[in-house]
């Protein structure tokens, strides 16, 4: 098995050499220049591509001299390569001028000549040729090989008129001819009845009255099915080849990978070349200085690949190489590539890192100029990518260009402009951003809210303009028709707002609202309270939530505040007060198990006996709740946890603890 895989990979890696550029022969003054230049080219067996191209040009020529050269080549049975090249050209053009030469070749001894002649004759669409082929197939003096070749041509013709001829051959006295006729019928119809003449006759009786149009429709359906099957087979084969290459790559030493990539660059399968691009990008991440240059060369070479998908992938990777040539290549492709390649070049240009040999300012100036020019591209895909790249550059000069595109008629461009402004918006963009909050496209409004967040958080924004930004965001939170936009407005208010926004955020949490908006509004509510660092403000809202019996939200708020404040030096002094409020929130919900640990922690930190008694009274409540749930052992455990603190409490509280002990003991003694 190993040797087989090795052979397969060798065949792939050492596949056909890419065709060289066609170079016509020197002109012969005795013939017209175009024909004279081509006379010798079909005989160039070392250059198959040139041979085929010259044969096609000769057949396409209408000059008598070219036709004579073609006939001469068709008589050269000693040069099968010349005959096959010319016959293939005749087949492609369906040229009937050379029918006689092809019919003679049906009798050739070489199988390659007979097959090439048969395939060319099959495409002639001539009833006369069909009759001539049938005559050869039925002629016992013609020889079995010639008769079989004629039968093959009848099967490949696709003509309805060929069916009766092939049916007659099923009764031939020669087994080889009967089998050839069956194979031709299968090729013609897609059915496999073998040499069963009765089955074929029954089928023909149902189809012989079809019109030519109906016959062609059925043939088209056959070819569609066959094409689909072959395409699936090809995809499976390419997948297997790619898998084998992946196995080979995994075993390739790091030192040999650059040479391996050079071989893959010549591979005939686009999927393998695309995989090579991915591997090069992966290798660039930790490439040494000696590896970087050849890897960059390969990646630049891949940007000229003949398959658009491979070329596009390579262009998208150019932003990862530290080479000024990559920048120049992107500028060139942005103007001259296909739509997908231009779009890829625009995207890479915005993310291109500055090589050490280039100045960042100069690079940005050239990139902005190129991207601004790309805004006039006829493809909206390219325009949208150029807009986003202007944002990716992150330079102030791009802001006015992008801002103006918020009024572009194309949805994709406005969306790209809004997304770009999240990175480059400045105070001059505010009027356009406010106007874009009314854009009919939710995705545009979504990113405009993000751009306003950028401005609202900038240190250079003065108070009046910041307040106007917040006011606009509040309007979006309440009025926008899309829950995604409203939820982002809530999040942004949490980032840029203050305690003044808390009532509105709480209102959106409790209103009949989309769950996404409620979640984001609640998160913003908690963020503002946490950021305030004010226990008085938190306590105020704790009481408000308690009065509204929002016990679950109250506990969630206090728990999050406690967690955040305990990590910051400035707010750590308020943690005990928050914890005390959280304990009460848990006890209101009878969540004694969650409250008890916090109570014991607070009791051991009590600054005086009075505060100790207040905190231990919460523990009596927690233990009582545990007893009410039948958890007597848990209640006893809670009392034991603070046994050493009880001598410091008064008689009244001590009596309450005794009552809890006695009740727990009675419950424990019951069977």
3-state secondary structure of 611: helix
3-state secondary structure of 162: helix
Residue 113: both structure tokens together: 């000549």
Global confidence as pTM: 0.67
- 535, 578 in Cβ contact below 8 A? yes
* pLDDT of the residue at 14: 36
What percentage of the chain exceeds 90 in pLDDT? 47
Both ends of the chain: CA-CA distance in Å? 74
Lowest mean pLDDT: which of 22-26, 137-141, 211-215, 550-554? Answer: 22-26
Asked if residue 33 has pLDDT above 90, the reply is no
Sorting pLDDT into bands at 50, 70 and 90, what band is 11? very low
* pLDDT of the residue at 359: 67
CA 383-389-393 angle, to 5 degrees, is 150
HSE on the CB side for 619, CA within 13 Å? 34
The span from the CA of 206 to the CA of 170, in Å, is 18
By residue count, the chain amounts to: 671
Decide if domain 22-198 falls under CATH 1.20.1260.10. Answer: no
HSE on the CB side for 61, CA within 13 Å? 23
Q: What are the structural domain ranges in the chain?
A: 22-198, 254-395
Closest CA to 618 of 633, 638, 644, 647: 638
Residue 425: both structure tokens together: 């918006």
At how many degrees (to 10) do helices 257-264 and 212-250 cross?
170
Asked if residue 671 has pLDDT above 50, the reply is yes
3-state secondary structure of 321: coil
Q: Which residues contact 375 (CB under 8 A, 6 or more apart)?
A: 383, 386, 387, 401, 405
CA distances from 539 to 134, 524, 574, 605, 669 (A): 102, 17, 11, 21, 44
Closest CA to 267 of 237, 316, 305, 309: 305
Closest CA to 440 of 415, 472, 468: 415
> The tokens 């189809």 sit on which residue?
207
Residue 141: both structure tokens together: 């003096």
Mean pLDDT on 269-287: 90
Sorting pLDDT into bands at 50, 70 and 90, what band is 22? very low
Torsions phi, psi of 482, nearest 5?
A: -110, 125
> The tokens 């080849």 sit on which residue?
241
Sorting pLDDT into bands at 50, 70 and 90, what band is 437? very high
CA distances from 36 to 25, 40, 41, 464 (A): 8, 8, 10, 84
Asked if residue 2 has pLDDT above 60, the reply is no
The span from the CA of 565 to the CA of 391, in Å, is 37
Mean pLDDT on 284-296: 85
Neighbours of 635 (CB within 10 A): 28
- 377, 406 in Cβ contact below 8 A? no
* pLDDT of the residue at 24: 39
Do the domains 22-198 and 254-395 sit in the same CATH topology, yes or no?
yes
Q: What is the DSSP string of 589-608?
A: TT-HHHHHHHHHHHHHT-SS
CATH of 254-395, one of 3.40.50.720, 1.25.10.10, 3.40.50.300, 3.30.70.2190: 1.25.10.10
Comparing 318 with 49, which gets the higher pLDDT?
318
Closest CA to 110 of 82, 90, 134, 135: 82
* pLDDT of the residue at 354: 63
Q: What torsion, rounded to 10 degrees, do the Cα atoms 494, 496, 501, 505 define?
A: -20
The span from the CA of 318 to the CA of 312, in Å, is 10
The span from the CA of 254 to the CA of 152, in Å, is 53
Asked if residue 34 has pLDDT above 70, the reply is no
Torsions phi, psi of 284, nearest 5?
A: -60, -25
* pLDDT of the residue at 193: 86
Lowest mean pLDDT: which of 142-151, 442-451, 590-599? Answer: 142-151
Residue 545: both structure tokens together: 């939530």
Q: Which residues contact 21 (CB under 8 A, 6 or more apart)?
A: none
The span from the CA of 325 to the CA of 219, in Å, is 53
- 87, 58 in Cβ contact below 8 A? no
Sorting pLDDT into bands at 50, 70 and 90, what band is 654? confident
Mean pLDDT on 307-325: 90
The span from the CA of 607 to the CA of 603, in Å, is 9
The span from the CA of 96 to the CA of 98, in Å, is 5
């Amino acid at each position: 098995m190993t040797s087989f895989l090795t052979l397969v990979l060798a065949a792939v890696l050492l596949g056909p050499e890419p065709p060289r550029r066609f170079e016509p022969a020197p002109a012969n003054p005795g013939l017209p220049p175009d024909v004279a230049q081509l006379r010798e080219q079909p005989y160039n067996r070392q250059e198959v591509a040139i041979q085929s191209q010259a044969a096609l040009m000769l057949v396409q020529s209408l000059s008598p001299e070219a036709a004579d050269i073609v006939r001469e080549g068709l008589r050269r049975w000693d040069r099968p390569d010349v005959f096959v090249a010319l016959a293939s050209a005749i087949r492609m053009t369906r040229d009937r001028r050379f029918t006689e030469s092809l019919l003679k070749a049906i009798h050739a001894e070489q199988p390659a000549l007979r097959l090439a002649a048969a395939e060319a004759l099959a495409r002639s669409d001539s009833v006369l040729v069909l009759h001539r082929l049938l005559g050869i197939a039925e002629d016992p003096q013609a020889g079995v090989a010639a008769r079989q070749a004629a039968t093959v041509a009848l099967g490949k013709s696709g003509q309805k008129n060929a069916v009766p001829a092939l049916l007659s051959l099923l009764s031939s006295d020669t087994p080889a001819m009967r089998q050839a006729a069956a194979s031709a019928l299968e090729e013609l119809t897609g059915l496999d009845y073998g040499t069963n003449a009765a089955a074929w006759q029954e089928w023909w009786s149902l189809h012989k009255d079809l019109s030519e149009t109906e016959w062609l429709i059925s043939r088209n359906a056959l070819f569609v099915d066959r094409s689909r099957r072959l395409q699936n087979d090809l995809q499976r084969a390419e997948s297997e080849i790619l898998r084998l290459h992946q196995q080979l790559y995994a075993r390739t030493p790091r030192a040999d990978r650059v040479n391996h990539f050079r071989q893959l660059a010549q591979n005939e399968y686009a999927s393998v070349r695309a995989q090579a691009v991915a591997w090069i990008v992966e290798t660039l991440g930790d490439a040494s200085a000696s590896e970087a240059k050849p890897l960059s060369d390969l990646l630049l070479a891949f940007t000229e690949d003949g398959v658009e998908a491979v070329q596009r992938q390579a262009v998208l990777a150019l932003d990862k190489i530290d080479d000024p040539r990559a920048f120049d290549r992107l500028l060139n492709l942005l103007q001259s590539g296909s739509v997908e390649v231009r779009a890829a070049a625009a995207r890479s240009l915005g993310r291109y890192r500055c090589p050490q040999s280039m100045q960042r300012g100069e690079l940005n100036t050239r990139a902005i100029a190129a991207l601004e020019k790309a805004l006039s591209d006829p493809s909206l895909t390219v325009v949208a990518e150029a807009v986003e790249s202007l944002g990716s550059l992150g330079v102030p000069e791009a802001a006015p260009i992008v801002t103006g595109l918020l009024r572009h008629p194309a949805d994709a461009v406005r969306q790209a402009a809004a997304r770009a402004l999240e990175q480059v918006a400045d105070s001059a963009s505010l009027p356009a951003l406010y106007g874009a909050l009314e854009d009919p496209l939710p995705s545009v409004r979504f990113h405009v809210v993000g751009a306003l967040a950028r401005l609202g958080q900038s240190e250079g924004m003065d108070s009046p303009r910041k307040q106007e930004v917040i006011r606009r965001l509040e309007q979006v939170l309440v009025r926008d028709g899309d829950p995604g936009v409203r939820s982002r407005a809530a999040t942004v208010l949490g980032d840029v707002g203050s305690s003044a926004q808390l009532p509105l955020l709480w209102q959106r949490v409790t209103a009949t609202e989309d769950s996404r908006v409620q979640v984001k509004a609640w998160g913003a509510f908690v963020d503002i309270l946490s950021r305030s660092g004010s226990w008085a403000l938190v306590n105020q809202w704790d009481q408000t939530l308690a009065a509204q019996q929002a016990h679950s939200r109250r506990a969630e708020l206090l728990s999050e505040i406690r967690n955040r404040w305990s990590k910051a030096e400035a707010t750590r002094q308020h943690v005990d007060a928050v914890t005390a409020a959280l304990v009460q929130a848990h006890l209101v919900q009878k969540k004694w198990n969650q409250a008890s640990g916090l109570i014991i922690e607070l009791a051991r930190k009590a600054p005086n006996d009075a505060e100790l008694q207040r905190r231990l009274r919460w523990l009596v409540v927690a233990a009582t709740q545990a007893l009410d749930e039948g958890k007597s052992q848990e209640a006893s455990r809670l009392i034991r946890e603070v046994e050493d603190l009880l001598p410091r409490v008064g008689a009244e509280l001590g009596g309450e603890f005794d009552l809890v002990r006695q009740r727990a003991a009675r419950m424990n003694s019951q069977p």
